[in-house]
Amino acid sequence: MKTFSRVLILSLTRPAYYKDVLQAHLKFSVKYYFGLSALLIVISIVAGVVNYSSSLKNDLTSSAKEAVQNFPSDLALTISPNGVTANKDFPLIAQMPSVLTRHNEQPQNLMVLDPKGEISALEKYNALILINNSYVVVDNGGSIQTSPLKDFPEIRIDYTAMQHFSRTLLFIARYAPIFTAAFFLLTGLFTFFVWRLIYLIIFALGIRLVYKGLTGSYSKAFQLSLHSATLPILLGTLLEVTTLVVPFSAWFILVHAFFTYYMLSRLEKNPQN
């Protein structure tokens, strides 16, 4: 652990340390990156459970109650490639779940089902989704998206099905911390060991092109990429833990590029400091 902490601090603070990185085996840098990633994934999981599990539990619980409260006990409907059928008169309107309107402005209703309904029904019923006998129509923030109903599988919904759905939501709510932890674990694994690794492999090509004389080979450029990513990776985790959002989506690559330039330029000018 002391060695890992030393490598982390030196990767952040000493340009001359990157000379040692160039002399080390690729396995050393990969092991460092995997160790850093594992540590930050654990931190993200803990922060995610603390920040989101309670609100997730409350949202799921309220949604489960609304699902059975707002669905008529004698209603049975079928949505199939052939159209929409029900044992009640159309149009049928589903209210927007309160959890979706809590933080964002949404239409009053989630869905309107009308076999003969036209696109204007979205505005008429202040709904997000319209399902008629031919299409599923969605108001996507002002733009209208339509998908043929024949592309969707048959769905049958009645009060028993809604009760089952409600019980499923309550089950997830009961174990919200576990599901939250699982979500952040899977997200972290994909982010660090798939998406970010692909990014670092590509970033190393840039280092190889700009600092060809310094790196000597692509594998050395990749090692530099792994270590110089320490700063933006730590900043990314800090933003995640504090739930802050940076409005500029390319901040990560800019911070990484600037930090790499600073470290390697200093190393070229003064290899001893």
Q: Where are the domains of the chain?
A: 2-54+176-269, 82-153
Q: Do the beta carbons of residue 143 and residue 137 sit within 8 Å? A: no
| pLDDT tens digit at each of 273 positions of the chain | 668 999 999 999 999 999 999 999 999 999 999 999 999 999 999 999 999 999 999 999 999 999 999 999 999 999 999 899 999 999 999 999 888 887 677 888 999 999 998 988 898 999 999 999 999 999 887 788 999 999 999 999 999 999 999 999 999 999 999 999 999 999 999 999 999 999 999 999 999 999 988 888 999 999 999 999 999 999 999 999 998 888 888 999 999 999 999 999 998 887 665
- pTM summary value: 0.83
Residue 71 to residue 186: CA distance in whole angstroms? 34
Q: Do the beta carbons of residue 61 and residue 258 sit within 8 Å? A: no
List the structure tokens of 28: 């050393």
Strand bridging mode 127-131 / 109-113 = parallel
Contacts of 17 (CB under 8 A, 6+ apart): 10, 11
143-148: strand order across its sheet:
92-95, 109-113, 127-131, 135-140, 143-148
Q: What are phi and psi of 5, to 5 degrees?
A: -60, -40
pLDDT at 1: 61
Instruction: Give the chain's largest Cα–Cα span.
Output: 82
pLDDT at 113: 94
Q: Which of 66, 17, 6, 28 is nearest to 228 (CA)?
A: 17
Q: Do the beta carbons of residue 33 and residue 226 sit within 8 Å? A: yes
Q: How many CA atoms lie within 13 A of 86 on its CB side?
A: 23
Residue 199 to residue 154: CA distance in whole angstroms? 41
List the structure tokens of 131: 């399902």
List the structure tokens of 47: 């922060």
| H, E, C per residue of 193-250 | HHHHHHHHHHHHHHHHHHCHHHHCCHHHHHHHHHHHCHHHHHHHHHHHHHCCCCCCCC
List the structure tokens of 260: 């790499």
pLDDT at 244: 87
